[in-house]
Structure 1
Amino acid sequence: MAKRQLNRRQEWRIQKIQDERAARAAKRAERAEEDLEGGDLGPEQTGLVIAHFGVTVEVEGDDGARVRCNLRANLPALVTGDRVVWRAGKQNNGVIVAQLPRSSELCRPNAHGQLKPVAANVDQLLVVIAPRPEPHANLIDRYLVAAEHAGIPPLLLLNKADLIDDSNATKLDALLTIYRELGYPVLEVSAHNGLAMEQLYAALDGHISVFVGQSGVGKSSLVNKLLPGEDTRVGDLSQATGKGTHTTTTARLFHFPSGGDLIDSPGIREFALAHIERADVEAGFIEFRDLLGCCRFRDCKHEREPGCALLQALENGAVSQQRMDSYRHILSSLPEKTY
């Protein structure tokens, strides 16, 4: 069924309702803060946001205790991974009074095209794929472009390696070989039978990592394997579409016993890049970097222009056809203003 188109008045009414709900939520948070203030808050201390629940967040103090906190009205939106300054109340609650600077943030546009952070202070992005649902280079490249744009090093993680067989082994190997040759780290694991999980632990140790990837690739299963007892919900592949069903509903941060943290973010089937421009896409394809600026024409679109450095690299094999196709597909999906 086609998505129903809303007229401008309907869109205005929906936005008005959302704004009113947000205002009411803010008033409730303000009243809760006033109650805490009246109850004599403790001294300021630092903490880590480990989960977000609407107008409140769960904060882990430096002593490891976890407290549900309200946010002061003048604070920006917080996300999992944020470092904050907070004050404790007397009933296992508290108030966040300041946000500490972020070293990085992972963002994606929301349904209205507005850029929204989904995780903070991440230093490693694990792009999870699997033999089923079948991985597509274009989706992988979207994640890699987003990682390069955010300045977060990526690791390509093939989960469900136990499902590799004669029907898909050749295609998967050809896909992953391209990324290995580009210098991206690639790890093949299986949450089902434990294949190479020790190598995955080692790759996660000492980092704040985020798993991203389409639904059904086994992100929740990996969390359950890496962190027994957390019991992250696992969804089966849809019988109708072959795609995964969404299970994670809020981003949550987990600690590994040996060191390092994992932010498990809600599954998304397609990573939109509407917030970046053409130059950012080009910079996100790391094999293009030495070629950019070398075309005969300054405004070269890398399509059919004579003297195009990228087309020459494609012809001599320095750039793969798969990656060039992804680059063009991503560009075609960007708003016209970015051209």
Structure 2
Amino acid sequence: MTLARRLRDFDEDDVRVRPGRRGSRPRTRRRPAHEDAVTGFVTAVDRGRYRCLLGDRMVTAMRARELGRKGVVVGDRVALVGDVSGDPDALARIVRVHPRSSALRRTADDTEPFERIIVANADRLVIVTALADPPPRPRMIDRCLVAAHDAGLDPLLCLTKSDLASPDELLAIYAPLGVPYVVTHHATELDELREHLTGRTSVLVGHSGVGKSTLVNALVPEARRAVSHVNAVTGRGRHTSSSAIAFELPEGGWIIDTPGVRSFGLAHVKPEDVVAAFPDLAEGATRCPRGCDHLQPDCALDAWAAEGHADPHRLDSMRRLLANRADTDTD
């Protein structure tokens, strides 16, 4: 090699790159700060697109790559960048999900290990149950009460179709719990329900056909939610809501309508939290042997219910949940 060659200035063209490498650019975990991001409220999710309320306009957005696998659900408060004009062809990007104050979760069933968040940042769970057509299902109500307790939501029992059956028997079951309730008739007499919902973010949960969408249409006329009739043979309603969607109440606050469910899996809830969600059985549980799982013959809750301190059906419901949870733990 000549002296002139050795004294020549080197540049990046002289750097040899090992074959098979994608490049020599150093990788970094630093992400853009997006200090100019604005905050929006997610009102609906549809096939990878998110409807977000930003001030007085709706913005359509997609997830940014920097979110990774972090999910975005209705009720989330998110940071938006990009085109936030709200124009028909505009598309913003969600770059951050703000910390959640609550998360309502469910699994497909009690053996499913993967939970999913239904709604974020709600503070009230409205358990909508028809008094007839379809008939009430107390075990479903119990599951929803456990989910509310787990998520830190205030429960509200909303009994619909009171023109078809009396609410007295069902209310007697839950009277010891002190759960607030409202009784409605064909989505009328909703003043009391409005009082419970105004100024809050409430999520409606219940079986198909119990009247959730009918309630939403009565509370927010412009919602125009599709409603269905209950099958006279099976006693089941047809799913008219395919995903959760939030509506702003005229009096202030939000209601979030969710698809009708046939089950509400609680595989993610710890056994002690299941028991804590049955306060009517709590005093009787203090008589149990140490370490009692409430599934054994020496459990004191049997005598507690036999003495009339608790409804035996409630005890049976709690034990079903615990037994299903125990099966999950041993899988």
- TM-score, normalised via structure 2 length: 0.81
Q: What is the DSSP-based 3-state SS (H/G/I as helix, E as strand, rest coil) of the residue aligned with 2:93?
A: strand
The aligned counterpart of 2:158 is 157
The aligned counterpart of 1:58 is 51
The aligned counterpart of 1:330 is 321
Residue among 176, 185, 188 paired with 1:181? 176
| 2:102–2:152 CA contact under 8 A, matched in 1 | yes
User: 1:159, CA displacement in angstroms?
Assistant: 0.9
What are structure 1's unaligned runs of at least 5 residues?
1-36
The answer to which of 283-292 and 69-78 deviates more is 283-292
| 1:108–1:115 CA contact under 8 A, matched in 2 | yes
- Structural mapping, 1:38-53, within 5 Å: 43-53=36-46
Residue among 90, 106, 109 paired with 1:108? 106
Cα deviation per residue 1:137-162 (whole Å; 9 max; x = unaligned)? 11111111111111111101001112
What's the RMSD between the two structures over aligned residues?
Answer: 2.1
User: 1:49, CA displacement in angstroms?
Assistant: 0.4
Cα deviation per residue 1:249-279 (whole Å; 9 max; x = unaligned)? 1111100011110011111111111222322
| 1:191–1:197 CA contact under 8 A, matched in 2 | no
Q: How many residues align?
A: 289
Q: What is the DSSP-based 3-state SS (H/G/I as helix, E as strand, rest coil) of the residue aligned with 1:174?
A: helix
The answer to which of 326-335 and 145-154 deviates more is 326-335
Cα deviation per residue 1:19-75 (whole Å; 9 max; x = unaligned)? xxxxxxxxxxxxxxxxxx9xxx993211100001132211111x2210110111232
Matched, 1:225 2:223: no
Residue identity opposite 2:186 in structure 1? A
Matched, 1:96 2:87: no
Q: What is the DSSP-based 3-state SS (H/G/I as helix, E as strand, rest coil) of the residue aligned with 1:229?
A: helix
Matched, 1:234 2:227: yes
Paired with 1:68 and 1:47, the residues of 2 have a C-alpha distance of 10
**Is the radius of gyration larger for structure 1 or structure 2?**
2
Change in 2 beyond 3 A, CA 1:336/1:110: closer
| 2:108–2:263 CA contact under 8 A, matched in 1 | no
Paired with 2:281 and 2:56, the residues of 1 have a C-alpha distance of 45
Residue identity opposite 1:144 in structure 2? L
Matched, 1:81 2:75: yes
The aligned counterpart of 1:316 is 307
| 2:128–2:205 CA contact under 8 A, matched in 1 | yes
- Greater helix proportion: 1
Change in 2 beyond 3 A, CA 1:103/1:275: same
- Structural mapping, 1:1-339, within 5 Å: 43-61=36-54, 63-75=55-67, 76-89=70-83, 91=87, 92-110=90-108, 113-130=113-130, 131-164=132-165, 169=166, 172-192=167-187, 194=188, 196-305=189-298, 308-334=299-325, 336-338=327-329
| 2:294–2:319 CA contact under 8 A, matched in 1 | no
Question: What percent of counterpart residues are identical?
Answer: 36
